[in-house]
Amino acid sequence: MKKHVLTLAICSLVSTGVFAQQGAANANVEAEANMSAQASARDGASAQGSGSANAQAQVDGDAARDEAADHGETVSAEARESASQAATMGVEVGERVSGTARAQGEAAVDSAAQRREQARERVNEARNAEIRAETNKQIGTSVSDTVRGEVQSTVRGAVQGSVRNGGQ
């Protein structure tokens, strides 16, 4: 019986410690459950607030993206318009330059044609003057020969007439 009582005493001591530990463990589990519930409630409220903030951030991000896209399209349209205007101005300037160059080229061709004609006229005048001089020289020689021949004939005739008359 002593053994029996001793065993019961030991078991009761051990069980009291176990019960105390079990109670402490239950208290810890309960405390953790309460803290977890409170944290969940806070997280839920925070999640709701965070969800609201996330939704607002999403709306703000979408608005910023849409505004940036609109701005990009506006800038792109302005750039296309500027490029189109520059191309049009380039074509106009090119046409003006081409017209000016064409007019200057035609003027140069006309000027060259006039100079060529003037040079041709001078060459023809020089050739004609040379021909006239040669002709005049030949005529002068012919006239001189003819006059000389006539003078000689007249002189001979006069000399012969004198000789005949003088000899009588």
pLDDT tens per residue across all 168 residues of the chain:
666 555 656 655 555 555 556 655 555 656 666 666 565 555 554 445 455 656 676 767 777 778 878 888 888 888 888 888 988 998 898 898 889 989 999 999 999 999 999 999 999 999 999 988 888 777 767 667 777 777 778 877 777 777 777 655
Give me the pLDDT at residue 93, please: 87
Give me the pLDDT at residue 45, please: 47
With tokens 């006069």, the residue in question is 158
The whole-model pTM stands at: 0.36
Indicate the burial class of 115 (C-beta count within 10 angstroms; 0-12, 13-18, 19 or more). Answer: exposed
With tokens 């810890």, the residue in question is 28
Interatomic CA distance for residues 40 and 59, integer angstroms: 27
Which tokens is 91 given?
Answer: 């074509």
Give me the pLDDT at residue 110, please: 94
Give me the pLDDT at residue 132, please: 86
Indicate the burial class of 97 (C-beta count within 10 angstroms; 0-12, 13-18, 19 or more). Answer: exposed
Give me the pLDDT at residue 64, please: 76
With tokens 């506006």, the residue in question is 74
Interatomic CA distance for residues 102 and 110, integer angstroms: 12
